[in-house]
Amino acid sequence: MDIRAELKDLMQNKNYSMTYVATATGLAKSTISMWLNGNYNGKNDKITDAIHNFIQREVERSANKDLPFVDITIVKYISEIARLCHTQGKIGVCVGKAGLGKTVAVKKYISEFLDSILIESDSGYTAKSLLKEIHRRLGLSGKGSVYDLMDEVVRKLNQSGRLLIIDEAENLPYRALEITRRIHDKTGVGVLLIGRSILLENLKGFNNQYDQLYSRVKYTKILDKLLFEDVEKILNAIGLNSKLADTYLRYSDGNTRRLEHLISHSISIAKFNGNAEVDDAVIKETSKLLMA
């Protein structure tokens, strides 16, 4: 579906006003209307991106509403490596496919260890904007030259025993990664970089030319798929029969987000077919629909 039609659908289905969309996306109402009608003369890509992100968040939110936090193995792995980096002041890297549950796990960690700082990076980050964000997160102004920002960040973090977590760190250009290494070197704070597998390649650089950074990494964890017992835990948490764990694991390919969608859609499809309960056949049928 065209993204404009998608937004119109969403607004209609959820009864969202233009004001709501404007607030949620940070765009002006007039910009959105012009964009919707194809009359916007500014940077259309920027608007399309913002709207796309908004739709994505909405889809996730509606699919998520039934799944409570579950203590799956990914949570254990991430909190273990975070704890090591935090207490020992080391650099760690944790990578895995999108949708595994990395962000949920780091958020759980920061909710327990309040002296950790989580930066959720995006592809717009430069070395300076990362530094500004860290500066702001330390209660400072976020303003100044790179030199001043660095100086103040270092002073504030020096020997503080805090942990700096950067999520989606594969988005950072090398110079921004290098900034985190310098902060670590000068202050002794732990750093945990989280991202997709490409992050490891970014850290090493082509032909390993960035050895200076990669050689500092003390802990690395590569996350794979959900385990059978994780799926059992998730099913238990929402009151579904754990007999289905094997089938759910197979058709979700061990991916948490995919499993979540598979569960919610299979429940709807079972209901639609007039069955009280989900069975293996419904899961299989649902997974075909989700693939399409």
Ligand X SMILES: Nc1ncnc2c1ncn2[C@@H]1O[C@H](COP(=O)(O)OP(=O)(O)O)[C@@H](O)[C@H]1O
Residues lying near Mg ion in the complex (CB under 5 A) are found at 102-103
Q: Which of 100, 127, 153, 166 binds ligand X (CB under 6 A)?
A: 100
Q: Which residue is nearest to ligand X (CB)?
A: 101
**CA separation for the pair 222, 210 (Å, rounded):** 20
Ramachandran angles phi, psi of 191, nearest 5°? -135, 130
Q: Select from 34-42, 77-85, 142-150, 254-262 the region that touches ligand X (CB under 6 A).
A: 254-262
What is the smallest separation between the CB atom of 73 and ligand X, expressed in angstroms? 10
Question: Which sign, positive or negative, has the C-alpha torsion 259, 201, 94, 140?
Answer: negative
Which residue, 59 or 281, has its beta carbon nearer to ligand X? 59
C-beta atoms surrounding 215 within 10 Å: 12
Which residue, 60 or 277, has its beta carbon nearer to ligand X? 60
What is the smallest separation between the CB atom of 57 and ligand X, expressed in angstroms? 10
Q: Select from 131-139, 182-190, 240-248, 253-261 the region that touches ligand X (CB under 6 A).
A: 253-261
In the numeric block, which tokens belong to residue 72? 């799956």
In the numeric block, which tokens belong to residue 136? 């702001």
Q: Is 91:137 a contact under the CB 8 Å cutoff?
A: no
Residue 55 makes CB contacts below 8 A (sequence gap 6+) with 3, 6, 7, 10
In the numeric block, which tokens belong to residue 30? 């007039």
Site residues (CB under 6 A) for ligand X, limited to 258-287: 260
Q: Select from 68-76, 119-127, 174-182, 238-246 the region that touches ligand X (CB under 6 A).
A: 68-76
User: What, of Mg ion, ligand X, none, does residue 69 touch, CB below 5 to 8 Å by kind?
Assistant: ligand X
Q: Is 58:74 a contact under the CB 8 Å cutoff?
A: no
3-state helix, strand, coil in the chain (%, to 5): 60, 10, 30
What is the smallest separation between the CB atom of 112 and ligand X, expressed in angstroms? 14
In the numeric block, which tokens belong to residue 70? 């579950």
User: What, of ligand X, Mg ion, none, does residue 205 touch, CB below 5 to 8 Å by kind?
Assistant: none
Q: Select from 49-57, 65-73, 116-124, 129-137 the region that touches ligand X (CB under 6 A).
A: 65-73
Q: Which of 67, 213, 227, 267 binds ligand X (CB under 6 A)?
A: 67
What is the smallest separation between the CB atom of 248 and ligand X, expressed in angstroms? 14
Regarding 70 and contact with ligand X (CB under 6 A), the answer is: yes
Residue 14 makes CB contacts below 8 A (sequence gap 6+) with 58
Total H helices, total E strands in the chain: 15, 5
Q: Which of 102, 132, 135, 162 binds ligand X (CB under 6 A)?
A: 102
Ramachandran angles phi, psi of 235, nearest 5°? -65, -45
Q: Which of 101, 190, 195, 254 binds ligand X (CB under 6 A)?
A: 101
Q: What is the SS3 assignment for 113? A: coil
Q: Is 281:85 a contact under the CB 8 Å cutoff?
A: no
Which residue, 197 or 215, has its beta carbon nearer to ligand X? 197
Angle between helices 228-237 and 256-272 (to 10 degrees): 50
Q: Select from 98-106, 109-117, 125-133, 264-272 the region that touches ligand X (CB under 6 A).
A: 98-106
Site residues (CB under 6 A) for ligand X, limited to 2-61: 60
Write out the residues near ligand X by the rule CB under 6 A.
60, 64, 67, 69-70, 72, 75, 98-104, 256-257, 260
